[in-house]
């Protein structure tokens, strides 16, 4: 066994033992009634905006869980929302990708200061793009300047036409290379899904295995996240799940559940239970050595246009830091894809966490989008501030 293998084995064994103890505690106590009531009221407030289905789960420091649902999982049948139904993880998977990159860095498999060209020669070039000037750290932190141009849909017609399209990572990167960079590397901040497509390619180059397999072996299995599953090029989700809806405009609410994820290499379906466990384990130091976790939490300000979604937000390496109304801050990475929008949060010590998943994206107007985001952010803030002095 190589030193790297021994390091990984020790990490896996330690994580498994710690999570076994945590899981036992989590089911041993009933939810606090005040916390459960607040969570219920917050899910109902989101549903009252017109969101068809909402499920939320909050975990207290002593492991007590509060679970709430509101609305319906299926507008056609009226089926109730499952308290632990599957949903698309979407961009929350960026935290998984970043965790694997930082594990590889801890093992000496790569450096955050490596250039993209070092691992993927000739891939990032043209129109002012230069992979020899962009580092792995900049990809992780959205400071690479690479323009984002992933396929998407804005009308029902585009959805039906594109929903089963399968895109190779190289095709997605090529789309971005058709554009000039948004800014020179390291001189700005702009959210770039393409940057994380490149990180998945780097993981495969560094390990010889697809990124989703490294995520499964290094994160999901050690944590016992058996309800987080790679969906790949499948357009379906495991059951149970709420149907996902997209509001394109007045009278244009479409069931968009059936679709292939654009970046299918790192597309996962998960549950509120598993997403809470992931965030708690990560911030408690169960997945990364102290130095790598500290690197993950070194943040930069997000761009001014993103501040309306993440007021006071700062971006680390695959993690967002946001302020709490009760003082301090929390860590998160929301995800939105195919009608599912999920917000989450965990306190800095990993002891208190919350996840809310909504199965309708009200994307017809900026006002609807922001109202939905704000209501979900309030739910997370209330759950993480529960028990703090002055918290209602």
**Tokens 């076994």 -> residue:** 20
Check: CB of residue 191 under 8 Å from CB of residue 304. no
Q: How large is the greatest C-alpha to C-alpha distance in the chain, in angstroms?
A: 61
Q: What pLDDT was estimated at residue 8?
A: 42
User: What is the reported pTM?
Assistant: 0.91
Check: CB of residue 66 under 8 Å from CB of residue 39. yes
How far is Cα 68 from Cα 51, in angstroms, rounded to an integer?
Answer: 15
Instruction: Look at the chain and count its residues.
Output: 392
On the CB side of 373, CA atoms within 13 Å amount to: 17
How far is Cα 124 from Cα 8, in angstroms, rounded to an integer?
Answer: 31
**Tokens 């109202």 -> residue:** 371
Q: What pLDDT was estimated at residue 128?
A: 98
- 3-class DSSP state for residue 196? helix
Give the burial string for 139-169 (b: 16+ CB within 10 Å, else e). bbbbbbbbbbbeeebeeeeebeeeeeeebeb
How far is Cα 187 from Cα 30, in angstroms, rounded to an integer?
Answer: 49
Positive/negative CA dihedral, 358, 362, 366, 372: negative
Q: What pLDDT was estimated at residue 13?
A: 33
On the CB side of 57, CA atoms within 13 Å amount to: 19
Q: What pLDDT was estimated at residue 31?
A: 58
- Per DSSP, the residues of 311-323 read TT-EE-SS-EEEE
Q: What pLDDT was estimated at residue 34?
A: 87
Peptide bond into 56 cis (omega under 30): no
pLDDT in tens, the chain (392 residues): 333 333 343 343 333 333 333 332 233 345 578 899 999 999 999 999 999 999 999 999 999 999 999 999 999 999 999 999 999 999 999 999 999 999 999 999 999 999 999 999 999 999 999 999 999 999 999 999 999 999 999 999 999 999 999 999 999 999 999 999 999 999 999 999 999 999 999 999 999 999 999 999 999 999 999 999 999 999 999 999 999 999 999 989 999 999 999 999 999 999 999 999 999 999 999 999 999 999 999 999 999 999 988 999 999 999 999 999 999 999 999 999 889 999 999 999 999 999 999 999 999 999 999 999 999 999 999 999 997 755 55
362, exposed or middle or buried, with CB in 10 Å at 0-12, 13-18, 19+? buried
List domains and CATH numbers for the chain.
3-385 (3.40.710.10)
């Amino acid at each position: 066994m190589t030193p790297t293998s021994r390091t990984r084995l020790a990490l896996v064994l330690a994580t498994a033992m710690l999570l076994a103890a945590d899981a036992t505690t989590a089911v041993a106590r009933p939810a606090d009634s005040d916390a459960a009531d607040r969570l219920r009221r917050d899910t109902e407030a989101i549903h009252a905006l017109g969101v068809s289905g909402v499920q939320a789960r909050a975990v207290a420091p002593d492991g007590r869980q509060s679970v709430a649902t509101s609305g319906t999982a299926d507008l056609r049948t009226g089926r109730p929302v499952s308290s632990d139904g599957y949903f698309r993880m979407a961009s929350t998977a960026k935290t998984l990708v970043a965790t694997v990159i930082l594990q590889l860095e801890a093992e000496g498999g790569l450096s955050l200061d490596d250039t993209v060209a070092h691992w993927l020669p000739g891939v990032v070039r043209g129109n002012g793009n230069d992979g020899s000037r962009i580092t792995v750290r900049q990809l992780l932190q959205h400071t690479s300047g690479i323009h984002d141009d992933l396929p998407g849909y804005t009308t029902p017609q585009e959805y039906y036409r594109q929903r089963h399209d399968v895109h190779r990572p190289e095709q997605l990167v090529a789309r971005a290379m058709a554009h000039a960079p948004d800014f020179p590397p390291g001189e700005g901040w702009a959210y770039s899904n393409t940057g994380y497509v490149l990180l998945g390619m780097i993981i495969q180059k560094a390990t010889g295995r697809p990124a989703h397999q490294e995520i499964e072996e290094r994160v999901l299995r050690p944590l016992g996240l058996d309800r987080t599953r790679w969906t790949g090029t499948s357009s379906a989700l495991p059951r149970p799940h709420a149907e996902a809806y997209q509001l394109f405009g007045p009278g244009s609410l479409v069931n968009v559940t059936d679709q292939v994820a654009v970046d299918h290499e790192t597309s996962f379906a998960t549950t509120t239970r598993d997403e809470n466990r992931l965030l708690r384990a990560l911030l408690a130091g169960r997945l990364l050595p102290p130095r790598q976790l500290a690197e993950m939490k070194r943040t930069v300000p997000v761009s001014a246009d993103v501040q309306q979604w993440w007021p006071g937000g700062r971006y680390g390496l695959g993690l967002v830091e946001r302020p709490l109304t009760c003082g301090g801050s929390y860590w998160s990475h929301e995800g939105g894809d195919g009608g599912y929008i999920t917000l989450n949060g965990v306190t800095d010590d990993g002891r208190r966490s919350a996840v809310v998943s909504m199965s309708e994206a009200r994307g017809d107007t900026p006002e609807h989008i922001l109202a939905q985001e704000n209501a979900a952010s309030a739910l997370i803030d209330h759950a993480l501030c529960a028990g703090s002095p002055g918290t209602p």
